[in-house]
Structure 1
Amino acid sequence: MGYSNKQMSQAPVGARRQWAADRALRPPMRSPGRPEPSRAVQRDFWRRIASGVTTVEAAEAVGVSWPVGCRWFRHAGGMPPISLDEPTGRYLSFAEREEIALLRAQDVGVREIARRIGRDPGTISRELRRNAATRGGKPVYRALVAQWKAQQAAKRPKTAKLVGNDGLRKYVQERLSGSVRRPDGTIVRGPETPAWKGLNKPHRQDRPWATAWSPEQISHRLRIDFPDDESMRISHEAIYQSLFIEGRGALKRELVACLRTGRALRVPRARSQNKPQGHVTEDVVLSERPAEAADRAVPGHWEGDLVRHEALCNRAEVKDLRRCAVAAA
């Protein structure tokens, strides 16, 4: 029996309509949000980063906003989180999924779709069953949603080695922080390193890496200290990833100050080798100075006409016998 208008008007103010999902036995599903850009876009972004361009330039080149590009770079610690190799033909590509969506919208059968795109009918059937979007209780195949679902299913997250091995994590942390001590209390320094030559950055001489071990030194030393224990093995790259990549939770974030570079993010080699831009560009070199400036006949082109002295703060002088003193305003 239906409800009358009078009965509907007696419902409490602010009451929410009961949806069918409220009566379901499973808990509410969390919305995954907007699907992220395709893997092809992300691979293109990281290839450009590896070539040495800035994060903003790489983001603009692949068609994403610069805040998104900066977030990718920061969350990944400057390290590509995905393989930059093109996927093999074993898996369906986004172009094939678009063609499947178009043919499915025309009510083309599974075997005919498989024949047109050159795939096995079982592959098409599984694709339509697994990666279709549910819209109003009816599965509807959309290429973008199917690509996102396939990417989520392809992830194989695993526990980092330093997270699951407490002894190895303690060994690495002690040497990264330079806190390894002998029984008498003296610090066990890492292997000798070349002297610091950064004359333009003298403040870096007192960084913790003066007594800390580098990831390469730690990785090689493990084989000497634990020759028969295969569980005490880790590559220097895994140590760098534990420091740089957010969410690993294996090593303390502040240990990046103990690295030789002191960087909190990995900088691509091509970018680190870029020459810094000079403050004097080609259009302001002295050889191209105009004749009136080179002759110094006009005030404003004199070397000392803008110099102020503590004792002569109200005037400026050009100490040249061929010039006269000019009173400053």
Structure 2
Amino acid sequence: MARRVLTIADRIEISTGVKPGWEVRKIARHLGRDPGVISREIRRNRNADGTYRAVGADVKAERRRTRPQDAKVASCPVLRARVLADLRQSRTPRQIPGRLRLEAADASVERMPNSLLADGHVASHEAIYQFIYAMPRAELVKHGVFLQSKRTRRHTRPQPGSRTKKAPIVGMTPLSERDLSALERRVPGHWEGDLIIGKNGATCAITLVERMSRYVTILACPMGKDSASIADILIEHTRELPEMMRASLAWDQGSEITRHAALSLATALPVYFADSRSPWQRPSNENTNRLIREYLPKGEAIPAHQPYLRAISSELNERPRATLGYLTPRESFQRLLVGQPHVASTP
């Protein structure tokens, strides 16, 4: 039976079990997997501080699966000598594989002049190109290898329009498909989110605003704008919210939210995307970010100290708002949790 690779859903379950301190065997029984698989997964893909987070672990596992393999041409001395000999004779990386296959299949075919025996070895043109581009330029010159293109490094050909447009986020659901009750602020639990960026783009923090109460949350991002780290932080925060406060999340089309599917899978929180360059579609968040900039001005580094950021959000949540009948966002949020009107009635 084929080996079943751990999925993002499996890693979310592992993360859920690790946080309260479950033993490896208990997590393995819960998932129906061998304890060795779970133990190895946690050991290999945990963070440097020893914590295990689902999205970060999934990214590490994916990178490990796609790591470069041993180059076929470079690892075989016979094949390497033959390819270099043919390249010196101005035979192209596409001609050489065809000739190798012909000689391997038909013993009556003689070796070409100034070529070497391949002993039945074959290689694809891609393997030969990888071999060439991996060699230092000085070594290419030493072996007398010159490609027709005069290039010694690979250049990716840009896709049409890629210079003016960034790649879209996979699986985006437009904000226009969100329930109308969110737009009219009739149901709690609909959030707007964004990043505020620090000096030179090196630091950042997540800002979240609940649309009905204007309740603000600021989350530290010690790993910067890395999408896996952002997803893990949002998953950890969202799981601590009451279920009624997990209706939806609106975000812009920044690359930091590309792992939105993992967030939704782990928390059942649907993520909706505003149109490109349309900040007015997330008005509560944009207005709140301006208030946050009173504490974290542009051009300054944003601290990754969560208590400091929590103190800022606490101050903002204690400012009475006219739109809430001069309740504070904290009071309004607490009223929503117990089913009371979130706006004070005026006498």
TM-score (norm: length of structure 1): 0.33
TM-score (norm: length of structure 2): 0.31
Query: Which is higher, the Rg of structure 1 or of structure 2?
Result: 1
